[in-house]
Structure 1
Amino acid sequence: MGTQQRKQDSLASKAKVALTAIREEGSSATYRETESTVKDSEQSFRLLFDCAPDAMFVANIETGIIEDANQAATRLLLRSKEEIIGMHFSMLHPPEMLEKTKEHFHTHILQSEVNGDLYPIEHFALRSDGKAVPIEVMAASLTFDNSKKLLGIFRDISRRRQMEDELRESAMQLTKLNMALEKELDEREKIELELRNRKARFETLFNCMAQGAFYWNQNGGLSDVNPSALELLGLSREQFLKSDASSPLWKVINEDGSELPIEERPSSFVLRGRPVREKIIGVFNPKTGAYVWLAVNAMPQFRENESQPAEVFVTLHDITDTKQMESELRKSQENLEKRVEERTLELQNTYGQLLHAEKLSAIGSLSA
């Protein structure tokens, strides 16, 4: 019984030793695994920290002293890593912004520890040459060696600020351009309204004027005509606009009654750039079957920077009554001249007879 008990005690003791050994071995393996994981994490963090494009600073939360900085931080501040480490966090920013810098530091701590959310805050970093660089700051609390740290990430937003300034300037310029454009559009609307009013007045004048008026285009065609011209010429609007200089509708004569060739007609002269004033012509009116006498004025119309007329504006003044009066006056004058001539001849004959009678009387007196 005693021997059996000793064997059992010996087995129990060996089991305890084995269990302890197993536990120690397991604990050691876990420790080594944890240590390896920590080392891997530290290496990964260091790699990310040093290669990050944004400036990073590690500050002691309690003292505010910078304990580490990456290469991007040295480029941002134009300082060496040795210069940066040991500085107080407030020295990373312009001194005139000290109160705001402290406020931001505590805000970052609260955000990262209480809310766990990271919100960027715009601020300025102070370079070694004294220039304040606009930055965007985010921060997160970390624990290293049982000490709380604040990891600050500074992103240089100089280019973004510059672009924002350029955008604002562009927006201002665009606003000015829009205002100028609106003003120009208002002016253009006023001009267009004035042009429409002038066109309406011209059309009223054109259509209501007693004188005939029409347009020849540079190709020899007719483009517009007023009612007075149609009445003078005895044509419908359709007939008029479908005709041209060579149309048989146009029977034109000189004052002496001879036919006026096409090349000598007023429109032909003006299309060659020569204005015509008070040209007297006769045009046959098919409705009345008679010629109407017209005083024609034709003026070339030029487009800008063109030497050849684009069209010809022609006015027709009806002088038929005047021509008839002149004809009647000529006839009256001719009749008067004829009567004067006849009367003069009669007087001459009478005077001759008187002279002859007086001569005979004188001869008779001498004979007696």
Structure 2
Amino acid sequence: MPAPTEPLPDIYRILFEQANDAIFLADVETGCLLDANPRACELIGRTRDEIRGMHHLELHPREERERYRAIFQRHAKAGQAIEDVEVVHRDGTRIPVEISASRVVLNGRPALIGIFRDLRPRRELEQKLHEAESHYRILAEQNLIGVYLIQDGRFVYVNQYIADFLATNAPRT
């Protein structure tokens, strides 16, 4: 097999740049952000040049800086962590995210890789599911029709209409 004529692509750089989640790299000692991927730029509405050199606390709500300082220190000490927090977009919008952090060594210095997953799509889906469940519950409890659910040959749910029907039509002994 002939030798490749050009160097192989840096697979880690490709993974970093193409990840579906936002990724921030932070220096553990200074708290300054070293790099961010395109999703991170989208998430907070800033360019990579603006992000590089920012302090990690600038990602979060200003009034909760001490809380986020403690979270960062805990992640740096533990080496790994997962936590639900908020970041602030350039326009002031607070965005719920899940951070998965890992401590690494970059160029001989301790750093944190933070993978930030935007929780808005999940929260929107949860809200829609809650609303749908509420609508179905209202329908089932109106006593206009009988609603029941059987699993493995057993009733697991009956609305009042069915309960009343069964009570009045049960065989008497």
Q: Could you say what secondary structure the match of 1:134 adopts?
A: strand
- In structure 1, C-alpha distance between the alignment counterparts of 2:141 and 2:109, rounded to whole Å: 61
Q: Could you say what secondary structure the match of 2:142 adopts?
A: helix
User: Could you tell me which residue of structure 1 aligns to residue 36 of structure 2?
Assistant: 69
C-alpha distance 111-174 of structure 1, shift in aligned 2 (>3 A): farther
- In structure 1, C-alpha distance between the alignment counterparts of 2:129 and 2:81, rounded to whole Å: 25
8 Å contact kept, 1:108–1:138: no
> Relative contact order (alpha carbons < 8 A, sep ≥ 6): 1 or 2 greater?
2
1:2-61, CA deviations, whole angstroms, 9 ceiling, x for partnerless residues?
xxxxxxxxxxxxxxxxxxxxxxxxxxxxxxxxxxxxx97x93322211121111111110
C-alpha distance 120-174 of structure 1, shift in aligned 2 (>3 A): farther
Higher helix share: 1
- In structure 1, C-alpha distance between the alignment counterparts of 2:58 and 2:95, rounded to whole Å: 14
User: Could you tell me which residue of structure 2 aligns to residue 172 of structure 1?
Assistant: 134
After superposition, residues 1-368 of structure 1 pair within 5 angstroms as: 43-112=10-79, 118-181=80-143, 182-183=159-160, 185=161, 189=165, 193=168
Query: Residue type matched to 1:167 in 2?
Result: L
C-alpha distance 119-67 of structure 1, shift in aligned 2 (>3 A): closer
Query: Residue type matched to 2:118 in 1?
Result: D
**Shift in Å at residue 153 of structure 1?**
0.7
TM-score (norm 1): 0.37
Q: State the identity as a percent.
A: 31
C-alpha distance 52-169 of structure 1, shift in aligned 2 (>3 A): same
1:175-215, CA deviations, whole angstroms, 9 ceiling, x for partnerless residues?
333433434x179639x95xx9xxxxxxxxxxxxxxxxxxx
- In structure 2, C-alpha distance between the alignment counterparts of 1:80 and 1:104, rounded to whole Å: 25
C-alpha distance 62-165 of structure 1, shift in aligned 2 (>3 A): same
Q: Greater Rg, structure 1 or structure 2?
A: 1
Higher strand share: 2
- In structure 2, C-alpha distance between the alignment counterparts of 1:78 and 1:88, rounded to whole Å: 16
8 Å contact kept, 2:25–2:35: yes
TM-score (norm 2): 0.74
| Contiguous gaps of at least 5 residues in structure 1 | 1-38, 113-117, 197-368
Q: Could you say what secondary structure the match of 2:92 adopts?
A: coil
Q: Could you say what secondary structure the match of 1:90 adopts?
A: helix
C-alpha distance 145-187 of structure 1, shift in aligned 2 (>3 A): closer
Query: Residue type matched to 2:13 in 1?
Result: R
8 Å contact kept, 1:94–1:126: yes
Q: Could you say what secondary structure the match of 1:130 adopts?
A: coil
**Shift in Å at residue 100 of structure 1?**
2.8
Query: Residue type matched to 1:189 in 2?
Result: F
What is the RMSD of the two structures over their aligned residues, measured on CA atoms?
A: 2.6
